[in-house]
A and B are shown apart, each in its own frame.
Chain A
Amino acid sequence: GPKVLQIPSHQIIDMGQMVTLNCDPVSNHLYFYWYKQILGQQMEFLVNFYNGKVMEKSKLFKDQFSVERPDGSYFTLKIQPTALEDSAVYFCASSRGANTEVFFGKGTRLTVV
């Protein structure tokens, strides 16, 4: 089936440093998402993105977070600077339409030390 690829699978970073999480969405998908999940708990919505713009973001999407997808490249989540509470698994997802199935990547496990 369609695959969303996330790179890297694990990342350990010092608190205060910048980190960029990369996502290669399904090729014909137009809607992109980032979710945060701590220790197999609730999947929490961070942000959705369409047509080059952030459409909606949650309270978890702090000012230190940013997303972009330059043409033909990865959909990225950047955190600058990182904090200890940013440690979690970050899932990227994409869908063809606003109400079609959302496909998830395998996640990037981010550990901030």
Chain B
Amino acid sequence: QQKVQQSPESLIVPEGGMASLNCTSSDRNVDYFWWYRQHSGKSPKMLMSIFSNGEKEEGRFTVHLNKASLHTSLHIRDSQPSDSALYLCAARASSGSWQLIFGSGTQLTVMP
């Protein structure tokens, strides 16, 4: 079963600061990455997906993907207290298994 590693486990940034979260898959068959955000006691909600090498930006959120290293990162600029949540990276292989496997998450706290 593929493993998805996220770092750091927890991150504290000041309001207005930049938060950078990392995720790597150990399964060479992985082709698709998603980033989910889960507020405490709530269900995960998809933030962004990335399937191709490079960068994708949506508002304050930017994701990068390096398929050679199977590494993706999520960057949140101008962080807000409402961004405080558990950020989950999920990965799926392009063929064979279509399990969506999650990492253990990064707990982000944005301090006012």
Does A associate with B in a complex?
yes
Interface size class of B (residues with CB under 8 A): 20 to 34
CB-based contact A42/B92 at 8 Å = no
Is A72 positioned at the interface, with any CB of B under 8 Å from its CB?
A: no
- The segment out of A63-71, A73-81, A96-104 that lies at the interface is A96-104
Question: A14 — which chain B residues lie within 8 A by C-beta?
Answer: none
**Residues from chain B with Cβ under 8 Å of A106 in the complex:** 42-43
Report 25 cross-chain contacts, Cβ distance below 8 Å, ordered by A residue: A31-B98, A41-B105, A42-B102, A42-B103, A43-B88, A43-B102, A43-B105, A44-B102, A45-B99, A45-B102, A48-B98, A55-B98, A56-B99, A58-B1, A58-B99, A91-B43, A91-B44, A98-B98, A99-B92, A101-B34, A101-B46, A102-B46, A102-B90, A104-B44, A106-B42
Bound Cα distance from A40 to B45, whole angstroms: 14
